[in-house]
Amino acid sequence: MKYIAPAGSVFPLYRDILQQAHVLVAGATGSGKSVLINSLLSTALLDSPARVRLVLLDPKMTELGQWEKLPHTVRYAYEQGDMARALRDTIDIMENRLRHLRSCGERIWTGSQVYVVIDEMADLLTVNKAEIAPLLQRIMQLGRAAGIHVIAGTQCLLASVLPTQIKCNFTVSVCLRVATKQQSRFIIDRPGAELFPDPKTAGKAFAFYRSGADVDRFQVYRVPDDEQARLVSWWLDPSHTI
């Protein structure tokens, strides 16, 4: 599988990313993390609430609020206590699904997929790591069979903030522009992301997508704001909540 995708042909890549167990989206401030996460959400929201459910954790209260009222959204949280409760509720969903699978003799959940989307994981872990880290780790270890996926963004590329026991559970990584080759290696096990142009001056963002041993480069496609607004309006129409 090889993607070198300009804007307009990146949709299959976004679909592929959404099919992975857990996704880490990393990069420096202004590298395009939130743009990519919202574009992934826009892609996921082409499916109905019967197929896609969202748990949105938004510590900065700036990036994920536009999706709060959608029928797909199970929880939207931005305060530390509420975010911890949202993760515990997700564990309840996961455990109920796993019990159902065991009772039916099945291995993989084929119903709705739950995406736990974290806009800035460093903020979530730094303030309340003792409580949050075990919850997040449990979801990531057991969630795949239950149709529960974590998509987490971070700009803090330090092992002290992103502990190994959590980082190793991300099955794929997307690395946008970073400051140093060491940071690039930390995310995708190779240098190169430090050479990407600054999106603010280049007018576009680039990223590496690491899946297993493969590392592919692509151009980030931003779903326009008006298109996202139309998507929200469409799903808020009661006749479309199938």
pLDDT tens, per residue, the chain with 242 residues: 233 334 445 678 899 999 999 999 999 999 999 999 999 999 999 899 999 999 999 988 888 999 999 999 999 999 989 999 999 999 999 999 999 999 999 999 999 999 999 998 988 888 788 899 999 999 999 999 999 999 999 988 877 778 888 889 999 999 999 999 999 999 999 999 999 999 988 889 999 999 988 899 999 988 888 888 888 999 998 877 55
Residue labelled with tokens 């057991």: 142
Rounded distance between C-alpha atoms, residue 95 and residue 125, angstroms? 23
For the segment(s) 11-234, the CATH number from 3.40.50.300, 1.10.3720.10, 3.30.470.10, 3.40.50.2300 is 3.40.50.300
Q: Do the beta carbons of residue 194 and residue 180 sit within 8 Å?
A: yes
The pLDDT value recorded for residue 19 is: 93
Give the residue extent of every domain in the chain.
11-234
Question: Whole-prediction pTM value?
Answer: 0.92
The residue type at 83? M
* Residue type at position 223: V
Asked if residues 19 and 169 have their Cβ atoms less than 8 Å apart, the reply is no
> What pLDDT shows up at residue 3?
30
Write out the H or E segment, with its range, that includes residue 154. Answer: strand 148-154
Burial degree of 128 (CB within 10 A; 0-12, 13-18, 19+): middle
Q: Is 125 exposed, middle or buried (0-12, 13-18, 19+ CB in 10 A)?
A: buried
pLDDT, position 2: 32
